[in-house]
């Protein structure tokens, strides 16, 4: 098994006859650590706390089977045909209904359907970022976003978070520092609700402040909100987009509220930006799959989709509880974590001296996988953090996984006491997203 950065891998690379042909942007493309270990990490005996895969077992597959079969029989000539890059009009209207739950008053014309919100992110970066442009993002931030920013050679400047999310004073400071350095901020990328990977939510009182800072400095806000409807106490926070429609580009997704494998997401953008997004999307995929859009549209009109979200919410709350109680029971002194009120993730800080990236292969040997913190930073931080995803395994497996993880950490601490700090491999910057860390 070759880990990134090891000699065997580099040797293999130097044999690539196409090496001198690649674009400069490929230099930033590296695989996530967990993917390098995927063959082992995906064995059934390994409890994976690494992946962001939704709990699909909660879906009504039988009735979906009937609806989708009927869709092909009735509307197959449309479902299997090319559509527009803008997206199916009826679905765009329904998407506006979904967004209304977060206080957004959007027009269907300003919605662009994308192949998952990852494509939305990629398209937004495509139309805004020249190489060297700065993107502000929470530190840590979503690994897939860092991958897109890197693909367009944008430079990420992280902004600190605390238990109430992005810190406005830190944002202000970061903006001034970038301006002082003569660089150009293109947008603030933020995940306000149930953050991936940090699990925190931007306090409502901070939202106006964040928007105001961005407005004052002429910085666009890109609001990524895949988890907003998954608040465990049923609270839905007002979207940033709801109060500043002209300066916020909103990214949404059905991956977490319905089904990830359909890859249906969307962007809601100011009108002029929307036109550019459609053109960018045409050159990227011509159009999103028509079938998938019609499936989501039919699902929204024939199923109790709000009830389904409630079902998901309850399942994730149960899993969150399992993770938190196991952390409380097993983690060694010196570890800290947050208790998320929604979404999929706990962000864990391990005791000093433990390196989560160096520890990962040993954890997998001990039959537990996680996403190490370094993948969520563009600047090399995160080696004392890791992300626990509680979305997919059963509560019982989560408890077992956390117990194993605690033992691995304790072993590392012993090693550290005996031999000094473990050595991390060279930091490789942002990693690529993949379903196992997304």
- For position 179 contacting a second copy by CB under 8 A, the verdict is no
Question: Which span sits near a second copy by CB under 8 A: 224-232, 237-245, 285-293, 402-410?
Answer: 285-293
Question: Which span sits near a second copy by CB under 8 A: 22-30, 90-98, 305-313, 324-332?
Answer: 22-30
- For position 134 contacting a second copy by CB under 8 A, the verdict is no
Question: Which span sits near a second copy by CB under 8 A: 17-25, 203-211, 360-368, 395-403?
Answer: 17-25
Nearer to a second copy, 47 or 154 (CB): 154
Phi, psi of 145 (to 5 degrees): -70, -45
Selected binder of a second copy within 162, 173, 282, 396 (CB under 8 A): 282
| Interaction residues for a second copy, span 291-350 (CB under 8 A) | 291-292, 295
- For position 27 contacting a second copy by CB under 8 A, the verdict is no
Q: Which of 356, 342, 350, 346 is nearest to 324 (CA)?
A: 346
CA distance linking residue 327 with residue 345, whole number of Å: 13
Nearer to a second copy, 25 or 43 (CB): 25
Nearer to a second copy, 39 or 333 (CB): 39
| Interaction residues for a second copy, span 356-395 (CB under 8 A) | none
Residue 127 CB, nearest approach to a second copy (Å): 5
Selected binder of a second copy within 8, 10, 22, 306 (CB under 8 A): 22
Q: Which of 73, 94, 438, 58 is nearest to 291 (CA)?
A: 73
CA distance linking residue 375 with residue 37, whole number of Å: 14
Selected binder of a second copy within 2, 6, 10, 26 (CB under 8 A): 26
Q: At what angle do helices 116-128 and 143-151 cross, to 10 degrees?
A: 40
- For position 50 contacting a second copy by CB under 8 A, the verdict is no
Selected binder of a second copy within 46, 112, 151, 202 (CB under 8 A): 151
Please name every residue paired with 162 in a beta bridge, in sequence order, or none if there are none.
Answer: 165
- Structure tokens given for 383: 């080696």
Nearer to a second copy, 285 or 336 (CB): 285
Residue 339 CB, nearest approach to a second copy (Å): 26
**Class of residue 349 by CB neighbours under 10 A (exposed 0-12, middle 13-18, buried 19+):** middle
- For position 57 contacting a second copy by CB under 8 A, the verdict is yes
From the CA atom positions of the chain, what is the Rg in Å?
22
- For position 119 contacting a second copy by CB under 8 A, the verdict is yes
Question: Which span sits near a second copy by CB under 8 A: 262-270, 324-332, 361-369, 393-401?
Answer: 262-270
Question: Which span sits near a second copy by CB under 8 A: 54-62, 100-108, 199-207, 378-386?
Answer: 54-62
Selected binder of a second copy within 2, 43, 80, 421 (CB under 8 A): 80
- For position 405 contacting a second copy by CB under 8 A, the verdict is no
- For position 44 contacting a second copy by CB under 8 A, the verdict is no
CA distance linking residue 10 with residue 29, whole number of Å: 14
Please name every residue paired with 139 in a beta bridge, in sequence order, or none if there are none.
Answer: 160
Selected binder of a second copy within 113, 135, 152, 368 (CB under 8 A): 152
Q: Where are the beta strands (DSSP E) in 269-338?
A: 336-337
- For position 13 contacting a second copy by CB under 8 A, the verdict is yes
- Structure tokens given for 401: 């996984």
CA distance linking residue 126 with residue 147, whole number of Å: 12
Q: What is the DSSP letter of 52?
A: -
Contacts with a second copy by CB under 8 A: the residue count is 93
Element (H, E) at 138: strand 134-139
- For position 85 contacting a second copy by CB under 8 A, the verdict is yes
**Class of residue 332 by CB neighbours under 10 A (exposed 0-12, middle 13-18, buried 19+):** middle
- For position 68 contacting a second copy by CB under 8 A, the verdict is yes
- For position 262 contacting a second copy by CB under 8 A, the verdict is yes
| Interaction residues for a second copy, span 205-234 (CB under 8 A) | 220
Q: Which of 141, 57, 31 is nearest to 397 (CA)?
A: 57
Nearer to a second copy, 261 or 307 (CB): 261
SS3 230: coil
Question: Which span sits near a second copy by CB under 8 A: 50-58, 329-337, 377-385, 418-426?
Answer: 50-58
Selected binder of a second copy within 49, 136, 273, 363 (CB under 8 A): 273
CA distance linking residue 178 with residue 184, whole number of Å: 7
Residues 6+ apart with CB under 8 A from 8: 2
Selected binder of a second copy within 4, 103, 108, 270 (CB under 8 A): 270
> Residue 343: left if φ>0, alpha if ψ -120 to 50, beta else—which one?
left
Residue 237 CB, nearest approach to a second copy (Å): 25
* Cβ contact 380:429 at 8 Å: yes
CA distance linking residue 159 with residue 213, whole number of Å: 13
């Amino acid at each position: 098994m070759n880990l990134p950065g090891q000699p065997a891998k580099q040797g293999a690379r130097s044999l690539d006859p196409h090496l001198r042909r690649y674009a400069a942007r490929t230099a930033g493309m590296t695989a996530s650590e967990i993917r390098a270990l995927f063959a082992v990490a995906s064995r059934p005996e390994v409890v994976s706390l690494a992946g962001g895969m939704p709990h699909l077992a909660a879906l009504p597959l039988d009735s979906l089977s009937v609806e989708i079969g009927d869709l092909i029989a009735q509307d197959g000539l449309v479902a299997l045909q090319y559509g527009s890059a803008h997206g199916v009009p009826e679905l765009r209207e329904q998407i506006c209904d979904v967004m209304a739950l977060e206080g957004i008053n959007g027009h269907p014309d300003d919605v662009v359907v994308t192949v998952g919100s990852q494509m939305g992110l990629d398209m937004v970066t495509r139309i805004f970022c020249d190489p060297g442009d700065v993107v502000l993002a929470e530190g840590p931030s979503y690994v897939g976003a860092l991958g897109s920013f890197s693909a367009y050679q944008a430079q990420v400047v992280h902004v600190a978070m605390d238990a109430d999310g992005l810190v406005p004073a830190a944002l202000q400071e970061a903006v001034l520092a970038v301006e002082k350095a003569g660089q150009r901020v293109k947008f603030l990328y933020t995940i306000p609700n149930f953050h991936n990977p940090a699990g925190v939510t931007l306090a409502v009182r901070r939202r106006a402040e964040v928007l105001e800072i961005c407005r004052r400095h002429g910085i666009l806000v890109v609001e990524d909100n895949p988890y907003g409807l998954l608040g465990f106490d049923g609270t839905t926070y007002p979207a940033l987009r709801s109060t500043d429609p002209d300066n916020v580009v909103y990214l949404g997704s059905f991956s977490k509220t319905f089904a990830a494998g359909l890859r249906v997401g969307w962007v809601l953008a100011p009108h002029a930006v929307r036109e550019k997004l459609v053109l960018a999307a045409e050159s990227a995929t011509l159009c999103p799959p028509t079938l998938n859009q019609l499936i989501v549209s039919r699902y929204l009109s024939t199923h109790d989709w709000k009830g389904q979200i409630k079902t998901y919410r309850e399942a994730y709350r149960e899993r969150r509880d399992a993770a938190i109680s196991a952390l409380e029971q097993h983690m060694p002194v010196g570890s800290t974590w947050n208790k998320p009120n929604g979404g999929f993730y706990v962000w864990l800080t391990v005791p000093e001296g433990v390196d989560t990236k160096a520890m990962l292969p040993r954890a997998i040997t001990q039959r537990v996988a996680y996403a190490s913190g370094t993948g969520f930073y563009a600047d090399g931080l995160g080696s004392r953090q890791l992300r626990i995803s509680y979305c997919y395994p059963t509560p019982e497996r989560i408890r077992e996984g956390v117990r194993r993880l605690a033992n691995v950490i304790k072993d590392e601490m012993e090693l550290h006491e005996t031999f000094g700090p473990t050595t991390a491999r060279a930091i490789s910057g942002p990693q690529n997203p993949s379903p196992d860390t997304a």
